[in-house]
Amino acid sequence: MDPLLTAYLALALDLLLGDPPNRFHPVAWTGRVMEVVARRLLRVESRVGLVLGGGVTTAVGIAVLTGFCGLLHLVPVVGDALVLWTCLSVRGLVEHVVRVGERLRCGDLEGARERVRWLVSREVEGLDEGLVASAAVESGFENVLDSLVGPLWWFCLVGWWAVPVYRAVNVADAMFGYRRGRLEAFGKVPARADDALNLVALPCCAAVLTAALPWWVGRASVSGLVRAVREVESPCSWLPMYVGACALRVRLEKRGEYELGPGGRLPGWREVMDAAGSVWVVSLVAPAVTHLFSTVISSVPRAL
């Protein structure tokens, strides 16, 4: 099947059906396997051993998810679309963001805090309405790369097998990367691997966001971009989050770490809903732009 048609079929499955239930979801199975492996390898005392343990756990996750997706790949005609659907998560992302917006609209701040826990790893106790809304908007745009453009990019550029590799690394990073204490060393390999894979996909993500959203008219600036690069710890998250801030014309803030966007007020429930709508728009544009971008990149070596 043509890669572009495959990508849109996978997206249609995701938008219509959402994620498979966890008991049937290869990505969820992979996470459970990595959790079991990690419990054993975290017993190691030395820092070197912990770093190696994180690498081994990530490798196991890659093997497990690639094996499951390999079986899906064997399904005639639609196998690649099933693989890609398994590793995409647009509807689930949007639904989580919308739930936060709904709680904020109802004035249920505590409920919004509980909902936003599904989206971010930061401590949410004590966050006011603006900071809860900011966390939801940030996560919605940040995950455009992890949950949509990244899988599409590696599928279009390399093929079906690169998709579970990318997704397994992404899951390992979400579980262990950029943590404190012993997990800081254990998460070193998955965090760096995820950064490397996303850095390769980042220019494509920029192209997708630029094609889908008029973010550059929201008082975007070079100084704002530079500030985002400097303040956001992740080398890839700054771009989609900054785009989201400019598209919605709000300030996104993680207390004590960064402030993104053109300034002004923090978002409210309306901006959270707008962020969810923006993700829908981006998802419809992403397969076409990613396919075109990968085709252009692939043609460069032949032209040289």
Given a contact cutoff of 8 angstroms between Cβ atoms, the answer to whether 198 and 145 are in contact is yes
Tokens standing for 245? 């801030």
Could you tell me which residues are beta bridge partners of residue 258? 254
Q: What is the mean pLDDT of residues 88-106?
A: 97
Apex CA 86: angle with CA 75 and CA 16, to 5°?
100
pLDDT class of 1 with cuts at 50, 70, 90: confident
- Specify the pTM: 0.95
In angstroms, the Cα distances linking 274 to 23, 69, 237, 245, 248 are: 32, 34, 19, 11, 8
Tokens standing for 144? 């455009």
Lowest mean pLDDT segment, chosen from 19-28, 80-89, 280-289 = 19-28
Predicted confidence at residue 68, as pLDDT, reads 97
Q: What is the mean pLDDT of residues 238-253?
A: 94
pLDDT class of 303 with cuts at 50, 70, 90: low
Tokens standing for 152? 């599409």
Q: What is the pLDDT of residues 189-228, one digit of tens each?
A: 999 999 999 999 999 999 999 999 988 776 788 888 999 9
Across the chain, what does the average pLDDT equal? 94
Tokens standing for 169? 């690394």
Q: What is the pLDDT of residues 247-260, one digit of tens each?
A: 999 999 998 899 99
H/E segment holding residue 252: strand 252-254
Give the number of other Cβ atoms within 10 Å of residue 297's Cβ. 15
Is the pLDDT at 120 greater than 80, yes or no? yes
Give the amino acid at 16.
L
In angstroms, the Cα distances linking 133 to 139, 225, 253, 266 are: 10, 21, 10, 8
Q: Where are the domains of the chain?
A: 3-303
Q: What is the mean pLDDT of residues 176-195?
A: 91
Q: What is the DSSP string of 91-106?
A: HHHHHHHHHHHHHHHT
Give the amino acid at 151.
P
* Helices assigned H by DSSP within the chain: 3-17, 26-41, 47-73, 79-87, 91-105, 109-116, 129-144, 150-157, 162-176, 182-186, 188-212, 222-231, 238-248, 269-303
Given a contact cutoff of 8 angstroms between Cβ atoms, the answer to whether 138 and 244 are in contact is yes
Q: What is the pLDDT of residues 149-170, one digit of tens each?
A: 999 999 999 999 999 999 999 9
Please give the Cα distance from 287 to 269 (Å, whole number): 29
